[in-house]
Every structure is written in C-alpha cells, then in structure tokens.
Amino acid sequence: MTLSRLLVGLVFVFSAFVKGVDPLGTAYKIEDYFVAFGTDWANGMALSLAVFLCAFEFTIGISMLFKIRMKITSGLLLATMIFFTLLTFNDALFEPVPDCGCFGDALKLTNWQTFYKNIVLIVFVGYLFIRRKEYDNRISVPAQSVVAVSVFIIFSMFSIYNLRHLPMIDFTKWKVGTQVLSDKAIESQTFVSYRNAKTKEVKEFLSPDYPWSDSIWMSEWRFVGQRVVTDEEQVGLDLFIEDESGNDFTKDVLLAEKMMVITIPDISEVSHDDLLKIVRLQHDLQQIDIRLTILSGSIPDEMDALRDILNNDSEIYFSDATVLKTMVRSNPGIIVFANGRLIKKWHYRDIPEREEVVNILRVNKIN
C-alpha cells in the first residue's frame, strides 16, 4: 500500500513540475486539444487552465505522498485518472494530437505508450481508493486542508513566475548551449505538415511551396510538424527561415558569428509598448558589433507596422509560429546565436541592456 501511494504521488509530482515549469508550453498543448475537438473558441482559457491543472496535479501528488486528506485525495485522483485514461485511449486510436504532453517536453511518449502508462497507474490508484479509509494522519483535518491549499497556491505562483519570465528549467530542444546548426550541414529539403481544423485532413508540403502567406488558408489549417530530408546529419531543429519570396536564410541567420534574433510568433499579440522595447534594443545594439534579425510567424503584410517603427533598418524574416513559440516562451522573445550555437535567451519582460549583451559575448569568448 505504501509503495502504491509513493509511486503514484511521485509520478503526479514529476508530471506537474515538468509542465508547471513551462505553463505556456502546456497551454499550447491544451489549445491543440481544443482545436482537435472543435472547441477552439476556448483557446483564451488555455493558459489559465494550464496553471490550474498543473497546480491541481502537483497538490494531488504532494497530498498522496504525505497522506493529506486521503479520502478526498484518492477520490479526486481516481476521477482524474479515469478522465485522462479515456482521453489518451481516444488519442491512441484516432491521434487528434500527435503528443498528449503528459510529461511536457521533459519526456516524450507516444499516444499508445501514454495510454499503457495510464492503465498501469489506474490499477494502483484504484487500489488506493479502495483502501482510502485505512490511512491515518496525526495532523488535524483542518491543518491538512491548509497544507493542501498552501501547496496549490505556492505552485500556482511558481508557474506564473515561469510564465512571466522564462522556464527555470528548459526541457525543449532549444536550450542554452545547444548547437542548433552545424556549418558542415548540406543542402536539405524541409517538409511541413498541416492539419485542417474542420476535416482533420493532413497535408504535407515541400517548404516553401505551401500557402503560408494566405491568411485565410492559415486560419483553417494548423501546423503539425516538420521533417528534414538530407544525406547527412544536421541539427537544424525544425527551423526554416525565409524571406517574403520564400528564399532560404536559415544558415545565414543561425551560422552568423554574432546574431541576436527577436522572435515574434504573432505580431497581433504584441503591444505597442513592447514594440518600442525592440526599437530601444535595436538602438542599443548599434553600438555593438552584432547583427539583429527579426523572425515572425505572421504574414508579411502584418509586419508593416513594425517596419515603420524600425524605419526598415532591421532584417525581417519569416518562420512557422509554432517553431518560434518553442524556441523561446515569449512573444516577443530574444535569443543570441553565435556560429550556430544558442548562447542566451530572454523574456521580453527581462529585455537585456547593452552591457549585459557585451558580457554574454565576452564570457562565451565571442569577439
């Protein structure tokens, strides 16, 4: 009985932590589910729901580990497991989303692996629920309630902090120090896949030969993934950078000796004040020998306002918004690359001063 309780508690704590440390990534996954089930009208609630669910899952896990309000905890746990077991069974059969994201970006499981994992867990959870009345705790019931509520509030604040800045632990492929592209990489073909939000039809295109500049088409189709076909290994990380004509600038940007990239997945969600921060950063960097490039997931016409503010002094290229959201959990986000290696990332709330950028380059021995 103790082994079952500890196992289930640790799984829930781990699952909640790796998702709660990256609430924006969790919200993106919830949005995928909303779109897949035709409830994308609820996308505006995805972020709040992500914070709530992660805090709820963490509280359940801690409560199980420390035997807090076990009758209520075991009941909530069983209800949660039944719901997610049914959901993941549907995922495994029909694949409305390619990855359920139950362990965030920390541990990737296929939909069938996730379902089998839940089948094993629900056996332990059912056993705990049956024997829920046998647990005792020397702490009074009111005190246990206070502990549970405190855990929920503290973990919610933890997730919100990671949301307002960058995740304390980066589980994505775009973590600091990653060699994102090798200068030995050869020419390759990039294929992008999109799913129709209504019919669920999936189409694959050879990039850039797909209607990425058609705003009507883009509103009806959702990015699923990319694959790179090449005769030799390259890192690349699913990023394809192009200009308005579809010309490939991926190597030019990522393999630059010193490059600061401003990522803007969706220009419509960026406030005027935040655009002005980019202008001030651009002005500060003019005194440093470093290139500045803007990568946008919006269509070219939507970038005209930013071009006007920047007086056309900056390079503006385009990439898939989903990839940009993965690169840095911020809109806009700031990344420094040097010879294909990711050196540093910032949230727009923590936009760096000129001296900080200089120090980053100096520490990494980039002249």
pLDDT winner (highest mean) among 195-204, 255-264, 297-306, 309-318: 255-264
Q: Express each pLDDT in 196-246 by its tens digit.
A: 888 878 888 877 777 767 778 778 888 777 776 654 444 455 788 988 888
Name all domains of the chain by residue range, CATH numbers in brackets. Answer: 2-164 (no CATH), 238-363 (3.40.30.10)
- The dihedral formed by the CA atoms of 240, 345, 30 and 217, expressed in degrees to the nearest 10: -30
Phi, psi angle pair for 135, to nearest 5°: -85, 140
Q: Which residues on neighbouring strands pair with residue 226, listed in sequence order?
A: 192
pLDDT at 228: 67
> In terms of residues, how long is the chain?
367
* Calpha distance 52→55 (Å, rounded): 5
Given a cut of 90, whether residue 149 has pLDDT beyond it is: yes
Give the residue-averaged pLDDT of 5-28.
Answer: 95
pLDDT category of residue 161 using cuts at 50, 70 and 90: very high
pTM: 0.82
* Calpha distance 188→199 (Å, rounded): 31
* 63 Cβ contact partners less than 8 Å away, ≥ 6 residues apart: 9, 69, 70, 73, 148, 151
Judge residue 187's burial from the number of C-beta atoms within 10 Å of its C-beta, 0-12 exposed, 13-18 middle, 19 or more buried. exposed
- The alpha-helical segments, DSSP class H, found in 66-182 are 70-94, 111-130, 141-164
Nearest to 316 by CA among 329, 297, 334, 333: 297
The amino acid at residue 270 is V
